[in-house]
């Protein structure tokens, strides 16, 4: 009996690699793609563990899962940095804008 490829192994690998690359774009895309890669990999891991003799491609699935975890972590750090940056910037600029509005009246 010929083994079949896992249904989402290639998609998980592509999403994992893409999540690493796009995690440097404010972190949002890396986080979203990393979560999608992890959800799909968990689904395929369950399928593989039920019938390991029917499927091949577990290496691609594991590589994509690891890339998804890395992309999720790096994206989360960048997203946190962007949120902190915007919070600090807003805390400095909001009083200045309020003072400018009040001084103009």
Question: Residue 29's pLDDT is what?
Answer: 95
Q: Are 77 and 59 in contact, with CB atoms under 8 Å apart?
A: no
Question: Residue 105's pLDDT is what?
Answer: 55
Question: Residue 28's pLDDT is what?
Answer: 94
pLDDT tens-digit readout, 71-86: 999 999 999 999 999 9
Compute CA 91 distance to the chain's CA centroid, rounded to the nearest angstrom.
Answer: 29
pLDDT tens-digit readout, 12-39: 999 999 999 999 988 899 999 999 999 9
> 55, 43, 48, 50: which is closest to 4 by C-alpha?
55
């Amino acid at each position: 009996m010929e083994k079949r490829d896992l249904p989402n192994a290639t998609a998980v690998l592509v999403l994992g690699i893409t999540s690493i690359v796009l995690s440097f774009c404010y972190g949002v895309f890396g986080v979203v793609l990393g979560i999608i890669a992890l959800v799909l990999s968990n689904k395929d891991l369950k399928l593989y563990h039920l019938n390991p003799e029917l499927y091949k491609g577990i290496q691609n699935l594991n590589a994509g899962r690891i890339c998804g975890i890395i992309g999720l972590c790096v994206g989360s750090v960048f997203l946190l940095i962007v949120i902190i940056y915007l919070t600090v910037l807003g805390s400095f600029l909001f009083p200045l804008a309020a003072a400018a509005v009040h001084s103009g009246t």
